[in-house]
Amino acid sequence: MSSELPEDLLELANDLVIASQSSSLAQISDLLGQSAPAWYQDHQLGWACLHYAAERREPELLRVLLRGGAIWNAVDRWGRTAGEVCLSLGDQQGWEIIRNEGIRSEMLHHALSPSSEEEPRNPMNMKLRAEDKTSAGDNLAFLQSKLTWDIGTDGRERVLDADGNGVMMGWEEPLSVFGSVYGRGDGADSGGVREHVRLMIMDHPDAQPGGKGISVLNVGYGLGVTIWSKVDRLFRTPLSSSHPQPSHHTIIEAHPQVLEHMRANGVYDWPGVRVLEGRWQEWLLDPEKFAQLAAITSELGAIFFDTFAEGYADLKAFFEVLPDLLEAEHGTFSFWNGLGATNPTIYSVASNLAELHLEDVGLGVTWHDVPISESLREEVWKGLKRRYWELPGYRLPIARMQLR
């Protein structure tokens, strides 16, 4: 981007990068007052003034640069923001200043942006995922892509898209499948309690012995490997006769190969299961189709959202239909919390942003931190073109309506 700068601004940009390393706050403020571009990143490291300032552990300097136009989520040549510089130095206060600016700017951005699938982008928008028109970055491209099922070097099943990207990986299963409430000795409950679903249903009265059966909506089948595909089997295999199967179980899925996989494996014939073919937007944002869904399932006890190649704007749009779907008193919502998961600062901003937007529609969130072993994180990516996870832990969201 430096080649686009006039010579005078390029000089100011370099002066600001140098000043951020050791100059006084007054000198740096003076450069910002002269319109020095605070977003500029040097060629050697890809560091911006905020990265260098983070090394100094001076909170007010970070605030001044952020107010002056420094970009909170600018990444260097290794994908690190200034927030990671703070974390490497144990500077929690500095990291929180940068993280909080990310939350503030993203809340403002989404408040001012029109609600649309084709959301305009600019450099200040959240970099949850690089702009990408391959099947990994574009949902419509993904739905037209060819998928392959194989076994990774870690011995776990995985699904890859036509570009060699991991779509769903077996390592996700322990985060998503429960093994102590409904499962019984079919291998699905090995390895301990699978947290996502256990936390979603553990307190719902309809899912307990003697209950009438919980009503479930799953957006995204899970490609027959992990997440709810395993849960679907567990739901229809109760631990005992006193544990009810779901009263309704609706799955929304759009990928043709996944739908074919589901037919071949008898999902369409499972008792109480209804498969809605198409994107969730086609069913939940279309008044006529939404009425069809509501006529059969008026209130849902559990909703899980896990789509591929969609961005935060899509997730937020789904949040906005939740009050019309979720059972008010006991209903639980969760989603696969993977946006920004290659960077701890961006991941934290994304998680906090989701919490605030869920609060806007009347849901309160409880977070559960689940560790992921380093050996597992490394092994599953062998032979793949890109990673979608780099972090040592997973923040698992459980959301319920806030009743007053």
pLDDT digits (tens, 9 = 90+) for 152-209: 655 566 666 666 665 554 444 544 443 223 332 333 332 323 667 778 888 899 988 8
Look at residue 221 in the predicted model and tell me its pLDDT: 80
Q: Which domain holds residue 60?
A: 2-112
Look at residue 151 in the predicted model and tell me its pLDDT: 61
Instruction: Single out the residue of 287, 289, 220 nearest to residue 251, CA to CA.
Output: 220
Instruction: Single out the residue of 360, 248, 245, 231 nearest to residue 300, CA to CA.
Output: 248
Do 2 and 13 contact (CB within 8 A), yes or no?
yes
* CATH number for the domain harbouring residue 87: 1.25.40.20
Residues 6+ apart with CB under 8 A from 287: none
Look at residue 121 in the predicted model and tell me its pLDDT: 44
Query: pLDDT band for position 123 (50/70/90)?
Result: very low
Strand order through the sheet with 273-277? 273-277, 248-253, 215-219, 302-305, 332-335, 393-401, 363-371
Do 38 and 16 contact (CB within 8 A), yes or no?
yes
Query: pLDDT band for position 365 (50/70/90)?
Result: very high
Query: What's the whole-number mean pLDDT along residues 318-343?
Result: 92
Last residue of a domain, one of 58, 93, 112: 112
Pair 302, 166 in one domain: yes
Crossing angle of helices 92-112 and 344-360, in 10° steps, is 50
Q: Is residue 126 part of a domain?
A: no
Pair 87, 228 in one domain: no
Question: What three-state secondary structure class fits 393?
Answer: strand
Query: Would strands 332-335 and 302-305 be described as parallel, antiparallel, or unpaired?
Result: parallel
**How big is the CA angle at 392 (ends 388 and 393), to the nearest 5 degrees?**
90
Pair 182, 76 in one domain: no
Pair 268, 307 in one domain: yes
For residue range 275-292, list pLDDT tens digits in order.
999 999 999 999 988 888
Q: Is 20 left (phi over 0), alpha (psi -120 to 50) or beta?
A: alpha
150, β-bridge pairs: 158
Look at residue 257 in the predicted model and tell me its pLDDT: 86
Candidate from 2-6, 45-49, 81-85, 248-252 with smallest mean pLDDT: 2-6
Pair 152, 102 in one domain: no
- Asked whether the predicted pLDDT for residue 340 surpasses 90, the reply is no
Query: What's the whole-number mean pLDDT along residues 40-59?
Result: 97
pTM, two decimal places = 0.81
Last residue of a domain, one of 112, 131, 158: 112
Look at residue 139 in the predicted model and tell me its pLDDT: 60
Look at residue 312 in the predicted model and tell me its pLDDT: 92
| Cα separation values, 350 from 24, 129, 130, 325, 372, Å | 33, 11, 14, 24, 19
Per-chain mean pLDDT for the chain: 80
User: What is the dihedral sign for C-alpha 238, 239, 241, 247?
Assistant: negative
Query: What's the whole-number mean pLDDT along residues 305-324?
Result: 90
More confident residue, 247 or 280: 280
CA dihedral of 217, 360, 350, 1, whole degrees rounded to 10: 120
Domain count, the chain: 2
Look at residue 122 in the predicted model and tell me its pLDDT: 44
Strands (E), 200-359: 215-219, 248-253, 273-277, 302-305, 332-335
Do 33 and 68 contact (CB within 8 A), yes or no?
no
Query: pLDDT band for position 331 (50/70/90)?
Result: very high
Query: What's the whole-number mean pLDDT along residues 371-390?
Result: 59
Buried b (16+ CB within 10 A) or exposed e, 279-291: bbbebbeeeeebe
More confident residue, 380 or 217: 217
Look at residue 49 in the predicted model and tell me its pLDDT: 98
Give the rounded percent of residues in the chain with a pLDDT score beyond 70: 69
Q: What are residue 218's phi and psi, to 5 degrees?
A: -120, 115
* CATH number for the domain harbouring residue 241: 3.40.50.150
| Cα separation values, 402 from 253, 359, 365, Å | 29, 8, 9
Give the rounded percent of residues in the chain with a pLDDT score beyond 90: 48
Structure-token pair, residue 59: 């909170």
Query: pLDDT band for position 129 (50/70/90)?
Result: very low
Q: Is residue 260 part of a domain?
A: yes
Last residue of a domain, one of 94, 112, 130: 112
Pair 75, 144 in one domain: no
Strands (E), 324-385: 332-335, 363-371
Query: pLDDT band for position 141 (50/70/90)?
Result: low
Pair 150, 83 in one domain: no
Which of the given ranges, 77-91, 170-184, 294-308, has the highest pLDDT on average?
Answer: 77-91
Look at residue 144 in the predicted model and tell me its pLDDT: 65
